[in-house]
A and B are shown apart, each in its own frame.
Chain A
Amino acid sequence: MHRRISAIFQSAPLRWIAPVLLISLALADPGAFAAAPICEDGAALSPTMFAPSSKPAELILEISWLVWAVCGLIFLIMEGLIIWCIFKYRRAKDDHTEAPQIYGSNPIELAWTVVPTLIVFVLFLVTARTIFEIEKTSPPEGSLEITVVGHQWWWEFDYPEYGFVTANELHVPLTRNGKPVPIYLTLESNDVIHSFWVPQLGGKTDVVPNHVNHLWLEPTMTGTYVGQCAEYCGTQHANMLITAVVHPEEEFDEWVALQKTPAVHDESVSVGRDLFQKTACINCHTIRGTVANGSFAPDLTHLMSRSVIGAGVVSNTPDNLMTWVFDPQILKPGCRMPSMKLDEQGVKDIVRYLLTLK
């Protein structure tokens, strides 16, 4: 935590405003901002833009401090003027005379036209530089490319380099061969407009059908970061959450090795597997190594390696899986998965099967 805050001081060009903001935020909501949630490795549970862990997010925060400072200053001056007028020029109680009529003043009006123009001009130039720095139109050298596909209401993460697909949890390495690795996301949508947003890793970029977008992230710290869809995309827009995990290199390699393997084949759950394969489940879900190869819904090959189900609506526990398989509409009303009308035994069998998909 201390590392994070000091990093902000170092990176911000206007150090004096940072403590004021941090203190007021911390005072107002210690639980969310200052104390517990910022973990050892730089991840905050709150998806705050004030604790960046990625290069574009840091660049954005830097320029944000500048805008805050400029606008804050104008705010103080103008509100001060208004309050001063209120007290200074309040009419005395029994004064019924008119004030001296002043129709205007060319020099004064010129001044308050020219000064804001200069401020705007400077702000424009400074910001333009950052825009071109962050908005990369081609992948930076040596970057890991991942395709993100937005669905109503879950995320598909496609790793073409490694040849597997996973859902709802984005895993990326901090380094490759010891060097920081830029992440270059290609954003596509399967249905309506979504928006990919993990504030600690970078700004949001819309995920638009019939229009391919890109987003550059470059993590500077390991940890788990949360975010979610930021463009209204229908009934369950609120539960289209993203978990992004930045791993140390070896850990990421292990994760990749696991994801590459086909699903575990466990004879003891053959009843559940058969039921799964005989029910409509396989029309939408893929479990690699089996007949299930649907692409409408999340890939379940390594379901149990994920911490949440329903794109983050609940955590991935056996109990929640039971409820979900029984009727997903209980946990995520409006979601695209229907209840399969299984009896209790059927639900148990299927969940027992799912639990083996490590």
Chain B
Amino acid sequence: MTTLEHPGNPLRAKPTFLGRLHEWVATADHKKLGVMYVTSGLIFFLIGGLEATMMRWQLAVPDSTLLSPSDFNRLFTMHGTTMVFLVGMPILLGVANYFVPLQIGARDLAFPRLNAFGFWLFLFGGLLLYFSYFGAQGLYGMGSAPDVGWFAYAPLTERTYSRGHSTDYWILGLLVSSFGSIATGINLITTILTMRCPGMTLMKMPMLVWLMLIDAILIMIAMPPLAAAQVMLLFDRLMGAHFFDVQAGGSAILWQNLFWFFGHPEVYILILPAFAYVSEIIPVFSRKVIFGYPLMVAATVSIGFISLGVWVHHLFALGLSPMVNTIFMGSTMLIAIPTGIKMFNWVGTMVGGKIRFDTPMLFATGFLALFLIGGLTGIMLAVVPFDWQVSDSYFVVGHFHYVLFGGLVFSIFAAIYYWFPKVTGRMLNETMGKWQFWLLFIGFNLTFGPMHVSGMLGMPRRIYTYHADRGWELWNMLSSIGVLVQIAAIAFFTWNVIHSLMKGRKAGPDPWDAWTLEWQTSSPPPEYNFEDTPKVYSRRPLWDIKHPEDPDWKYE
């Protein structure tokens, strides 16, 4: 395999700035769109992180007056909304965009222009949301960014309680962006179901493709209820409807149900890609085939199913009947079983391996260690009486950051270190990568570990300040110090990316000696991906090529 440079159009041998801009803006290439998705996701990640930093600064000491209450409330609203919709979603869609076609040996997604449309919807939705800082002032200067929380519980979002236009920006920004996600979800499903290369049956798909298939199905099922709820809210706010207007007989509980019918599957929409990345990385760096592939697939599918029936565990304190609470406790605990299977199978893959701890594997191992904690506190929260104490407290903040930061973000970094060479043709620096990992690991635990304690000591979420007599000072101070360590880690990462883009070691097509199809083509891959359509005989086509004496298809 030779390393092909971008062949492109010879007339564009030395593209001008405008030429290059046109090339990116008008592209329908899944790889370029993937890169734009991930890049914008990472930029929003820095913005969301900055917002979190300001909140931790405020909460470091009791009775702090650094931020005004409304500024603080805007920050946590924007932080949550950004991290879920403008960081998690685009990065997972971006990685899927880039690697699903490559892993199934396809030329592009099924609908390339729909794909481009989806990306631009996401990006402008995000920009619209942030424009609220300037545009939501309205006639009387009432409002800035939304301050209703990312969950936007009615009736706080009704016109009576949220004047100005900030909530309208929140609705419209997310509405636009979630239509992009739905489009891309449909695109991914179609691609995976119809465009696999010869020989790749469903049970020969790489784990990433399986997980993204289930993920895309969840996107398609979960996003529309949110869009519907947002349209209803928009009717309330702009046209005087009364869906959630309690003063006119509307229902506050309806919003919570609609929101979490989206919101809980959303958590799995965000975490399945994390599973996908580590399911690719752990086998390659353990030099072992993934343990129990069929059971992994079964666990994935059942997580997808069960995740649609657990949303009421966000409403345990809402005063629903004991029977409803018990039933949803059951379904929530049920999901621990397939998730547990996945944990065991990943560890089972490592057992007996010859593990190479390069940066991607460090982050993947970090994912295992931290996601485990998030999963276990998740089981604890499913226990309704315990939830009555700690729901809406800092315990929950700790819990879901172990899931979404320790889980998702660590796996995203694993994925970036793993696939950066494929996308750019250059390796990321290992030394800086290791610095980043250890700083992030320490800083992360320092920030989010103590939150479990402050939550059990009675500290609720979303408070902009607290009195000094409540015994929360130490825990909050520790959390805030942890943020500084994390900032150092992110600085290493940023520098590493910039530095390696220019001066990184050349990667070659297959730097990790991996087994899936994307490593068969050059780095970066040509616009057409593969010169000939690949033909596969097993789940690890490159293993078969590298080990003709002992191919996988003999055992599968």
Contact = CB atoms under 8 A, between A and B. Distances in A.
B368 A82 contact: yes
A48 B457 contact: yes
B390 A45 contact: no
Interface string A176-217: 000000000001000111010101001111101111011000
Contacts of A235: 69-70, 73, 147
Contacts of B372: 75, 78-79, 82
Contact of B461 (A49, A199, A232): A232
Given A48-B458, A193-B153, A82 B365 contact: yes
A109 B341 contact: yes
Contacts of A269: none
Pick the 9 closest A-B CB pairs, nearest first: A203-B388, A32-B471, A47-B458, A46-B471, A238-B463, A213-B319, A104-B292, A209-B246, A91-B354
Contact of B354 (A98, A117, A233, A238): A98
A197 B471 contact: no
B251 interface: yes
B269 to A, nearest CB: 23
A96 B352 CA distance: 15
Interface string B274-318: 000000000000111101111100000000000000000000011
Interface in B466-521: 466-467, 469-475
B474 A29 contact: yes
A33 B473 CA distance: 12
B141 interface: no
A128 B321 contact: no
Given A124-B333, A127-B385, A206-B319, A108 B348 contact: yes
A203 B391 CA distance: 9
Contacts of B326: 128, 131-132
B232 interface: no
A67 B147 CA distance: 35
Contacts of A134: 385, 388
B250 interface: yes
A214 B289 CA distance: 54
Interface string B150-168: 0001011000110000000
A131 B385 contact: yes
Contacts of B253: 208, 211
Given A64-B386, A333-B69, A89 B462 contact: no
Contacts, number: 297
Contacts of A67: 379-380, 383, 386
B457 to A, nearest CB: 5
Main secondary structure of the interface of B (DSSP, over half): helix
Contact of A334 (B70, B329, B389, B391): B70
Contacts of B470: 32, 45-47, 226
A116 B352 contact: no
B186 interface: no
A127 B369 contact: no
Contacts of A31: 471, 473-474
Contact of B252 (A68, A131, A193): A193
A40 to B, nearest CB: 17
B389 A237 contact: no
Given A31-B471, A233-B156, A109 B149 contact: no
A81 interface: yes
A82 B383 contact: no
Q: Residue among A68, A109, A205, A227 with the most chain B CB within 10 A? A: A109
A210 B392 CA distance: 21
A50 B456 CA distance: 8
B24 interface: no
A64 B333 CA distance: 15
Contacts of A202: 388
Contact of B325 (A71, A131, A211, A231): A131
Contacts of B369: 79, 82
Nearest to A71: B376
A117 B391 contact: no
A167 B169 CA distance: 36
A101 B294 CA distance: 16
Interface in B383-423: 383-393
Contacts of B46: none
A190 B289 CA distance: 60
Contact of B355 (A63, A85, A103, A226): A85
Contact of A97 (B247, B354, B467): B354
A49 B390 contact: yes
Given A49-B456, A128-B326, A130-B385, A113 B161 contact: no
Interface centre among A44, A68, A71, A214 (most CB of B within 10 A): A71
A112 B292 CA distance: 12
Contact of A68 (B330, B345, B380, B458): B380
B377 interface: yes
B42 interface: no
A163 interface: no
22 contacts: A31-B471, A46-B470, A60-B386, A64-B386, A68-B380, A78-B343, A85-B351, A89-B286, A101-B555, A113-B341, A116-B336, A117-B337, A127-B383, A130-B384, A132-B322, A197-B458, A210-B251, A211-B251, A232-B73, A232-B149, A237-B463, A237-B464
Nearest to B466: A238
A209 B155 contact: yes
Contact of A192 (B161, B325, B353, B467): B161
Contacts of B340: 112, 116
Given A89-B355, A99-B353, A131-B329, A192 B155 contact: yes
A208 B317 CA distance: 11
B471 A45 contact: yes
A90 interface: yes
A67 to B, nearest CB: 5
Nearest to A100: B352
Interface in B324-367: 325-326, 329-330, 333-334, 336-337, 340-341, 343-345, 347-348, 350-357, 365
A99 B282 CA distance: 13
A232 B75 CA distance: 14
